[in-house]
Amino acid sequence: MKEKPENIYKRKGGSETKAGSTRTRRAIRILWTVFILFVVSFVILIVSIENGLVGYMPSLAELENPQSAISSDVYAADGVLLGRYYVTDRSNSKFSEISPNIINALIATEDVRFYEHAGIDPFATVAIPFYMIMHKKRGSSTITQQLAKNLFPRKSESLFTLPFMKLKEWVLAVKLERNLTKNEIITLYLNTVPYGDNVYGIRNASLTFYNKTPDKVSVDEAATLVGMLKGNTIYNPRSHPHKARDRRNVVLDQMRKGSYITQDEYNQFSSQETPLDYHKIDYHDGIAPYFRMVVEVAAKNALKDLKKPDGTPYDIYKDGLKIYTTLDTRMQRYAEEAMQEHLTTLQKTFLGQNGYKDGSIWNKGPNILNILNTSIKTSDRYQTFRNQDMTEEKALAAMHVPIKMRVFAWNKNKYLDTMMSPIDSIKYTKVFLQSGFLAMDPMTGEVKAWVGGIDHTFFQYDHVNINTKRQVGSTIKPLLYCFAVDNGFNPCDVVETTPQQFPTMAQPYDADHPVKYADHVPMKTALALSINNAALYILRQVGIDAFVDFAHKCGIVSRMDKYPSVALGVSDISLFEMLRAYSMFPSGGMNTQPFFLTKIEDKNGMLIKNFAPEQKEIINASTAYKMIKLMREVVDHGTGARLRFRYNITNDVAGKTGTTSNQADAWFIGYCPQLIAGAWVGCDDREFRFRSEALGQGAAAALPIWAFFMKRVYADKTLNIDPTRRFKQPDGFIDCDATDPTSAERSGLETGGKKDTSEPSEHGGVNTEEHE
């Protein structure tokens, strides 16, 4: 009997229903299994990431104290930031040192729920797929996630590794939130993010772009700085002002939406300009670049034997140190201005000489030709040509081809863009007069101004540094006279000016030929007029060996050959050493080494090292005051007299000029009761020099820098350099014959019976080319 069709249908339907139900349950079990496996795997992955099993995971200590390289700051005595030493230009601020305007701008723009989430913003994370579907680019990373990425950057990135890196940043963000406060996180973020022009950290950014600390930043300035975080190149207000302004207004609008500013404030700030006060401190720019280079070396030397608490050595480029110096930025500025004021004019005079004006100086003999050839073959450009496998002949040919270049010039910009061959550029720079200037407190040794050259961008060689030595000429004579006075000579005693016979010489040494003097003149007249034979006479009395030993005792560490010419300044000595030696005169006999570091602190303000001046008594106060009177004669009646009649320096000052053979070096070192300063002028290669003694002597080439500097110093009442202060005569001081005629009347110069009114030259003769 056949089964009814409807029964067959019912039986089949029931079986199919049962099978479908079974498949559904199996699918659900599989889904749950997959889900559970995914969750377990995800948890295992997170735990592995957190414990450093999948890539490097920083420890809790590293998170709390991230080791970002922090630049070290160098400060002047008046608190001005001189510069920084860094691998990365970064410095830190505390939360209390950051303006609320910056905090508000950052939160409104980068992470509106910053104070609500725990490192990861779930709303922003869930919204990512929807923005991807709508093809809208929107950042979902919180400030904490961005901080994690900044502190521990991705080393390599691919489609496979990116998810793991994002997970790692999530874990880091949660760990940061767990161990740091919100204020600490936002401070750390602002201290690590990059801004334009290779500047890191909000402090450096506000100082660089607005010349103010971050606590003083206004609303629109804060919006500009925060706006740069989206693209520190394209939104750099220095290089892209219009794009930076547009981005600033976007940030201001976000601040309006977040109720950090009102609609009226938004309208005001968005419609106005935000002017920059740009002060990027780099290797060459800024005040005292030569000084900063010296401080850099000195600081490294001072720290080389010291260790941080963790036992590692200090690194001035990464440890965020604070280096304090003695420099006074006002005096430094006056020194730089004085050098520029004088050399701008002097350089024109120098190049107006025969041989320089038409370039024929380069055909004046083998010495100059050797200078040129050596300069060519040691130049960077020639070396580059040779490294390109050029033959010497082809490289030299390429050096004659004119190209666009920027060279130094005494103009407003201190440079000139021109077409010039590399060889011509070498000739051009070689004939620039260089200079060094140093000023210090003679009582303490504190360096107040240090100008190592005419422009650090083009000429890095420091002419003040103790390792830079030039012949000192007659500036050595005060040390010789001092030694004589300290050993019984009286400034009013007469000394011989005739040629002097030394045991090692076949003929008497006549160092003043052809100028003639009376056979005897007062000692003070001999120094005032810088009579060479008189110096030789004194040297013969005191002994060459004894004088050289005395000079070394005064702080001259350079080699001084023990020959008669040592009394005339043939030794190569640095300006640094000479100021130390001269310091005993205004200080009452105390020899003080110039020093410029006062202390070094770590990034937390803890003292690492203190510095103090080195002082020792060389002569007594009576000898020191006698030398002051002798050297006062130099500026009253002698080779430095133009200080009085040309530059109107009427204050109580003393000093000495110096000129070397053929006018290759010009010197002047002078002092008042509170300050001592010295200037040197000359070309780096001694073959290039003034042809006229009238133009190249110390009184004409170096003394004016000192005069221009001191006039500015005396005019600035904030420096507390009293123009009326006089040198103090020590108690019980016994002067020599107070009724002695002046040096001008006692000089004994043979002038054919006529009264001489010309200015004495450096070598003791009369400058017949320039009557004053």
pLDDT at 30: 79
CB-neighbour burial class of residue 200 (10 A; exposed 0-12, middle 13-18, buried 19+): buried
CB-neighbour burial class of residue 450 (10 A; exposed 0-12, middle 13-18, buried 19+): buried
d(CA 529, CA 750): 14
pLDDT at 5: 56
Please give the single-letter amino acid code of residue 414.
K
Measured between alpha carbons, how far apart are the two ends of the chain, in Å? 152
pLDDT at 571: 97
pLDDT at 767: 35
Q: Which helix (H) or strand (E) holds 23?
A: helix 5-50
User: Omega of the bond prior to 129 within 30 degrees of 0, cis?
Assistant: no
pLDDT at 121: 67
pLDDT below 70 — which residues of the chain? 1-20, 38-68, 119, 121-140, 152-168, 281-285, 737-772
- Contact yes or no for 583/678 (Cβ under 8 A): no
Picking from 467, 473, 431, 483, the residue whose alpha carbon sits closest to that of residue 703 is: 473
pLDDT at 552: 97
- Contact yes or no for 298/596 (Cβ under 8 A): yes
pLDDT at 743: 37
Q: pTM above 0.85?
A: no
Strands 72-75 and 403-407: unpaired
Reading the block at residue 270, the tokens are: 């968005």
- Contact yes or no for 491/524 (Cβ under 8 A): yes
How far is residue 564 from each of residues 348, 459, 555, measured CA to CA in Å?
37, 35, 21
Between vectors from CA 425 to CA 423 and to CA 429, what angle results, nearest 5°? 125
Q: How many CB atoms lie within 10 A of CB 79?
A: 8
Sign of the C-alpha dihedral computed for residues 667, 332, 684 and 479 taken in this order = positive
pLDDT at 46: 56
Picking from 93, 110, 89, 96, the residue whose alpha carbon sits closest to that of residue 223 is: 110
Between vectors from CA 149 to CA 144 and to CA 154, what angle results, nearest 5°? 165
